[in-house]
A and B are shown apart, each in its own frame.
Chain A
């Protein structure tokens, strides 16, 4: 691993100013993506800004009809939080299926969303629930946040502080985990909020997480498994690798979307 200088700011403002000032600086959250990539020398930041002592970045609460989750909240807390289980059971279940127990103890929602791994779970929840990503500078709707493989709308000195999820009527997430890594080979998140339907897919797209508007329109007429009958997603634009071909992934989207709609009830 390349050497680096460690910083441990106490406030978001200090963290942001370090991020802006230091060359080749990176934020360290749970470290469950960043440290493995540093070990392999795929990343070699000169400055590491540890967010663990920054105040105000953890916690889960309902504010009005929205759930607010602090960026540094580890997956296990979302999985086990009574507030999340009651108001967003699909989100609690998704968090409980990330990686393994040790990963869930440390990995954070902010790190996962900022990283935008094409096979990660939280991006599907953010897009599938129409979340708002709150940073030290602005509020970014999920629809404008995820820009491609590991690419987001975040500016170089921008820090995610919170993620806000609007309450929905129905939601479910169904994941086909890669048996070795447990990342999503394909995962589909569906939700219904009044007349707004969202179907968000992770793992499959060659460009990362995306919505399936054909499925959404069909479900808008009637939210039920039958509405998806005969519909499919073209293999064009799907990722293809040793774990699954583009055709296989496209097929899984249909299967998992139907299961998710059935599970959402």
Chain B
């Protein structure tokens, strides 16, 4: 039996009827059509599917869409404003924080949450906060630099 769900994704309201077993990440990718949120594993460990829900970074592959009725969600598509990249996105560009890019949307949203909590994170803090996000390409060094770059930019803007 399908159930109705309504949620706001990147400021826009969506409303569908879905099966209870539909995962949120598949809802976002296939029903809504926002494919920037990735699926990198089936064990809930890689963090490629990280989104912000009610301001918290969570793994979209570990929710049923029906659990998120009424939720406010931000995906990677929602970060750039008026065609201008968010400083964290810009940081990944400037510091070469990606290679294949598969982990990047999740990394950026995890970093978004991190910089809200720790506006001036130490390298150790950055690495600790990224423990739920796996990257198979970069070796993480440039990801750390990208987040440090973004932190500086964001501090400058305040």
Contacts and interface: CB of A to CB of B under 8 A. Distances in A.
Interface of A: 1-6, 28, 31-32, 35-36, 38-40, 48, 50, 52, 99-103, 105-106, 180-182
Contacts of A100: 47, 131-133
A120 to B, nearest CB: 15
Nearest to B50: A102
B146 interface: no
A40 B132 CA distance: 20
Contacts, number: 72
> Which among A106, A180, A181 has the highest number of chain B CB atoms within 10 Å?
A106
Taking residues whose C-beta sits less than 8 angstroms from the other chain, chain B's interface range is 20 to 34
A96 to B, nearest CB: 10
A5 B19 CA distance: 9
B56 A105 contact: yes
B44 A36 contact: yes
Determine the main DSSP class of B at the interface with A. Answer: mixed
B67 A3 contact: no
Given A6-B3, A52-B67, A181 B132 contact: no
A3 B57 contact: no
A35 B63 contact: yes
Interface string B37-50: 00000111101001
B70 to A, nearest CB: 11
Contact of B20 (A5, A39, A105, A182): A5
A91 B59 CA distance: 24
A6 B20 contact: yes
B57 A4 contact: no
Contact of A35 (B44, B57, B129, B133): B44
B57 A101 contact: yes
Interface string B100-127: 0000000000100110000000000000
Contacts of A31: 62-64, 67
B20 A48 contact: yes
Nearest to B20: A6
Given A40-B42, A48-B20, 16 more contacts: A6-B3, A6-B20, A31-B62, A32-B62, A39-B23, A39-B44, A40-B43, A50-B67, A99-B131, A100-B132, A101-B113, A102-B47, A102-B50, A102-B57, A106-B62, A181-B45
